[in-house]
Each structure stands twice: as structure tokens, then as C-alpha cells.
Structure 1
């Protein structure tokens, strides 16, 4: 019973919905980045390197062995560094995009929390704390100036 009550509190607080939304957006973002790297960045890079396809680049440790019937009896063993390069490019694009989004969100949050900025509506709790701080400074100045 305690477990169900804790789960209900977790779901009602919105944590579960926030996680679900984040996972859905993350999956869609992953598809977008995958297409961006494979269909937008890699073709010009391949063209600049004289038609080199990075996805096919590998270092073969052991060649495949084919019998007289043309069947593969022993699989090829290879280090596929081309796919690693594409995945690394994916990671860099995702990291840069997340950095830009977080930087923009932080800038908006700072503007919203600045009580002196009248362009963006300041949350009431920040506004009240700012007023309280001003009153305390005023009170301290009066106490300092009292003989």
C-alpha cells in the first residue's frame, strides 16, 4: 500500500509526465539528428573526400572465409571506425544543440527573476523577496544613522 501511495504522489506531482514528455521529445530529437548527420552532413563530407563513404570504413582484423559453394564459413572480424565517426558527429551536434537551448532557457529565467526588469513579468515570490530585501536594507540604514 505504501508503494502505491508513493507512486500516486510521484505521478500526481507531474514528475512522471515531465519524464514522459522528455523521453518523447528526446526520441524525436534523436531521429532528427540522425537524419541531419547521415543525409545532410555526411554527403558533402564524402564529396570533399572524393566519394569516401565513412559508414563503410573499417579496419579488418580477419577476412571472411568463403568455401567452394560461396558460403561464408567464418565471419569477418573488423573494427568499424566509420560508424564511430558518425556517432561522434551525432554526439557533437546533440551536445551543441542542448547547450544552446539550456543557455537560452537560463537567459529567459534570469530575465523572469529580475524584479527590476519590467518587460518580463516577475514571479510573485521573487517580487516579494525583492521587496523584503529592500525593506531590510532601509531598516538597516535607519538603524545605522540613529545616534
Structure 2
């Protein structure tokens, strides 16, 4: 059983999958940084300086006691964070599209297979010629 597990782990597919998971985590961090630090400030500037992450609809405000400590936290629908998530999804989708497109261009086309023998027409022509003789 240990030998079977070793063979399973050492196959190319498992190792490639592990590398893909690690790379996906790194790419995810880069894309999230791009969205949070570059894309959203530009979108905010284009919309008049609006910070989407601060947008929310308060269902019930927070309640504080006399000392200023929060007794009941605010209950709000944070739709601005959802907008940021949608922008992040679009950016990730676009990056993945570019990666797949570049991979497709780098991939070499499979060599065309040479015909294994004479075609049906060539065989019929040979039979005809043999019958004429």
C-alpha cells in the first residue's frame, strides 16, 4: 500500500497539480493586490472619488453605552465590498483569458500524420489497370 501511494504521489499529474495550486495562490495574491491597490482607486477616481469598500446600507445602527463601548454592533449590507469582489472576478477572468491565450500560441501544433497507405481511389485505379492487362 505504501508503494502504491508513492507511485501515486510521484506521477506527473499530482506534482503538476501541486505546483498549480501553489501558483494559483500566488497569482491570487497578486490579482487581489492589483484590484485593491490599482484598479479600485482608478474606478473610484472615475466615479468622483468614491470608495466602494465603504458603501453600505445600515439595517440597524450600532448601540453604545454611556462609556462609549459598543453594546450592539452595526448590522449593515456591505454592497461596496461586493462591488470590489465583482471587479476582482472580472480582473481574474481577464488575466486567466490572457494566460490561456498565450499558452495556446506557445503550444506547438501536432505534426500532421502521413497517410498510412494508398487511398481508396489509388487502389481502385490499380485494380482497373490490372484488369485491363
Q: TM-score range by the shorter chain?
A: 0.7 to 0.9
Q: TM-score, normalised by structure 2?
A: 0.84
What does 1:14-33 correspond to in 2, within 5 Å? 14-33=12-31
2:93 counterpart of 1:135: no
Where does structure 1 lack aligned partners over 5 or more consecutive residues?
116-129
Query: Which stretch has the larger CA shift, 66-75 or 48-57?
Result: 48-57
What does 1:1-147 correspond to in 2, within 5 Å? 1=1, 4-109=2-107, 111-115=108-112, 130-131=113-114, 134-136=115-117, 138-145=118-125, 146-147=127-128
Separation in structure 1 between the aligned mates of residue 63 and residue 54 of structure 2, nearest angstrom: 19
Where does structure 2 lack aligned partners over 5 or more consecutive residues?
129-133
Separation in structure 2 between the aligned mates of residue 108 and residue 114 of structure 1, nearest angstrom: 15
Match of 1:127 in 2: none
Decide whether aligned partners of structure 1 residues 114 and 93 sit closer, same or farther in structure 2, where only a CA change above 3 A counts.
farther
Deviant stretches of 4+, over 4 Å: none
Decide whether aligned partners of structure 1 residues 140 and 78 sit closer, same or farther in structure 2, where only a CA change above 3 A counts.
same
Separation in structure 1 between the aligned mates of residue 53 and residue 94 of structure 2, nearest angstrom: 23
1:57 Cα deviation from its structure 2 partner = 0.8
Structure showing greater radius of gyration is 2
1:139 Cα deviation from its structure 2 partner = 4.1
Does 1 or 2 have the higher relative contact order (CA < 8 Å, sep 6+)? 2
RMSD: 1.7
1:54 Cα deviation from its structure 2 partner = 0.7
